[in-house]
Structure 1
Amino acid sequence: MNLIFMGTPDFAVPSLKLLAARYNILAVYSQPPRPNGRGMKTIESPIQSTAKKLNLKTMTPHTLKSDDVFEEYKKLKPDVVVVVAYGLILPEKYLKIPKFGCVNGHASNLPRWRGAAPIQRAIEAGDTTSGSCIMIMEKGMDTGPILLSKKINIENNDTSKSLHDKLSDLTAQLLEEALYKYTKGILLPQKQEIEGIKYAHKIKKIESEIDWNLTALEISNKVRAFYPFPGTFTNGPNGLIKIITTQSNNDVHDQPPGTILNIGKKIFVACGNNTTLEILEVQKPGKNIISALAYLNGIKLSVGDKFGI
């Protein structure tokens, strides 16, 4: 089969590599290089870089709304288009060109967590499972019929990074199986359920500051969900610190949220609903990640001090 692949971040790389070994890739579409890092150097996306290494034709349009871009796409005459975390919405006319339509690999248990940030929102919400779904794309966002899906457990120590890596590999494996069975007529699309729809809205940096009025479990979930990007932080007596690793415990208290309850190898902080959070690792601005103990050795912090001030 002749295939077009559309993707941008690291998440899509295993899918591109696997499909490139089994299909004729007519072209790879990715978002254009953008300024990044402290020096704001223009950097290619992981998919564009991977496509070049595989000697695949790469296309990096800023928009898909241009008539010229659409005509070039149409001339490729793909049998199927595979989309994995591309980042641009495909206009409806694009979906009608391939013989087998456009197939999307999505990192959630659809219809739960449609949208931009399914991995982070699943962890933040305290979900115990996540997964990958392969679906036929239609006009609505992540509303298309499902070809294949598989659930995995979200472990207590999973962060968005570790879950991202698991689902990235799983999505590639499911895409390979789904494409083969779907194009052979073995696999038929199944409509999504209408119950349990939840949207994974894009993460905003304003969400990074910890609200100590939340329960310890809610904060701990958020820390895991937002690691490594955009991270979570709090202000305190010694300035801003990023919170890297935490866990909730069963200790109760009667102190206002954000109050330092105890210090030792960990920092124990009062949270909402009289719950307690243990901080295990932190990071000062521009510094390396260190243990709570190492942080305490370098600053003056006392029981009764407050975070979130």
Structure 2
Amino acid sequence: MRVIFMGTPDFAVYSLKALLTQHEVIGVVSQPDKPKGRGKKLVPTPVKAYALEQGLQVYQPEKARDPEFVTMLEKLAPDAIAVTAFGQILPESILNIPKYGCINVHGSLLPKYRGAAPMQWSIIDGEKVTGITTMFMAKGMDTGDMLLKTEVEIAPDDNFASVHDKMAQAGANLLLETLTALQAGTVERIPQDHEAATHAPMITKETGHIDWAKSAQEIIDLMRGLDPAPGAYAIYEDEPLKLFKGIKAEGDYPQGKLGEIVDVTKKGFVVKCGDGGLTITELQARGKKRMATDAYLRGHAMNKGVLLQ
């Protein structure tokens, strides 16, 4: 099958690698390069970098609806357009080009977690299972008819990084399975139940600001879902303190204000939260490396009564 691939981050590279094993990739579309670092040097997206290594033609339209770009896609005449985390909504003028349609690899079991950050929110919400859905793209945000699904377990010690890698591989495998089924005419398109849809909005810095009124497990899930970036955090002495790991504290902590350090143990310091105490076991202070809390405490005092906001 002649396929155009659209994708941008590391997550999408898995899908592109898989496509190259079974299909003819006639072009790759990725977001424009962005400036990074102090020198503001333009850096290619992970998909672009990998595509160029493979000798593939790369296109980077500012806007996918640009008429010249649409005309170029029409001339390439792909059998299918495969999309994994591209970052732009495709117009109808593109959706109608390929014979087998525009197939999106979405990081959730639709219609749950439509939107920009389905993997992070599934962890933050304490889900035990997530998965990949392949779907026909439509004009709305993740509203198209579903094709195939595969489940991925979220283990108690998983964070965003580990779930990302499991999901990326699952998505790559399901994309190949979906294209094979489309060619054979053996896949059924299933409309989504829009009333059952949930939203997974973009992650911002403020998403990670810990609400100490929540339970220890809810805070742990927030830390997991934002690890390694952007990280959950609290304000300590007017500076953000990133908190990456914790465990429900043993014993009861009825006293103290929400966010107050109510105990210091060998494992870390205990913060008063909605259902007792949360022992912080891994953190990162501004300008410092990420480290275990017990190592941090050997060089920094964290006293009882201090309030994390």
Letter in 2 for 1:305: V
Shift of 1:37: 3.3
The residue aligned with 2:162 is 162
> Is 1:219 the equivalent of 2:204?
no
**1:232 equivalenced with 2:232 (yes/no):** yes
1:113 and 1:250 mapped to 2: Cα distance? 34
Following the alignment from structure 2 to structure 1, what is the Cα–Cα distance between the partners of residues 303 and 202? 37
Q: Is residue 268–residue 279 contact of structure 1 (8 Å, CA) maintained in 2?
A: yes
Once residues 292 and 238 of structure 1 are traced to their aligned partners in structure 2, the CA distance between those partners, rounded to angstroms, is 19
Going from structure 1 to structure 2, the CA distance change for 1:195 and 1:47 (only over 3 Å counts) comes to same
TM-score by length of 1: 0.95
Which residue is equivalent to 1:9? Answer: 9
Secondary structure of the residue aligned to 2:236 is: coil
Other-structure match for 1:307: 308
Q: Mark the CA change 1:67 to 1:260 in structure 2 (over 3 Å): closer, same or farther.
A: same
- The answer to whether the 8 Å contact 1:208/1:230 transfers is yes
Cα 1:260/1:300, change in 2 over 3 Å? same
Shift of 1:89: 0.8
Report the counterpart of residue 142 of structure 1 in structure 2: 142
Instruction: For residue 237 of structure 1, report the CA deviation from its aligned partner.
Output: 4.0
Q: How far does residue 304 in structure 1 lie from its aligned partner after superposition?
A: 1.7
The whole-number CA distance in structure 2 between the counterparts of 1:51 and 1:253 is 55
CA displacement 1:167-196 (0-9 Å, x = unmatched)? 000000011111001121121212223453
Mapped contact 2:134–2:174 kept (Cα < 8 A): yes
Deviation for aligned residue 1:64:
1.3
Q: 1:239 deviation in Å? A: 4.0
Give the SS at the match of 1:112.
coil
C-alpha displacement at 1:40, in angstroms?
2.9
Report the CA distance between 1:92 and its aligned residue.
1.5
Deviation at 1:222, TM superposition (A): 0.6
Aligned-pair CA distance for 1:249: 4.0
Aligned to 1:252: 252
1:99 maps to which residue? 99
How far apart are the structure 1 equivalents of 2:251 and 2:81? Answer: 53
Query: For the residues of structure 1 that align with 2:251 and 2:196, how far apart are their CA atoms?
Result: 34
Which residue matches 2:152?
152
CA distance in 1 between counterparts of 2:83 and 2:64 reads 14
Q: Distance in 1 between the 2:22 and 2:65 partners?
A: 30
Larger CA deviation: 162-171 vs 294-303: 294-303
Contact 1:147 1:182 in 2 (8 A): no
Partner of 2:292: 291
1:201 aligns with 2:230: no
Q: C-alpha distance in 2, partners of 1:288/1:147?
A: 44
Aligned counterparts, 1:176-187, within 5 A: 176-187=176-187
Kindly tell me: are residues 302 and 63 of structure 1, through their superposed partners in 2, closer, same or farther at Cα, counting changes over 3 Å? same
User: What percentage of aligned pairs have identical amino acids?
Assistant: 37
Indicate the larger mover: 206-215 or 127-136. 206-215
SS in 2 for 1:5: strand
Structure 2: how far apart are the matches of 1:269 and 1:252? 12
Following the alignment from structure 1 to structure 2, what is the Cα–Cα distance between the partners of residues 229 and 38? 20
What TM-score, normalized to structure 2? 0.95
Contact kept, 8 Å, 2:231 with 2:244, in 1: the verdict is yes
8 Å CA contact retained: 2:89, 2:139: no
Give the distance between the partners of 1:239 and 1:26, measured in 2 at CA.
50
Q: CA deviation at 1:275?
A: 2.3
Q: Show CA shifts across 1:145-175 (max 9, x none).
A: 2211011221111111110100000000011
Distance (Å, rounded) in 2 between the aligned partners of 1:209 and 1:117: 17
Measured on the aligned residues, the alpha-carbon RMSD in Å equals 1.4
**Residue 38 of structure 1: CA displacement?**
4.3
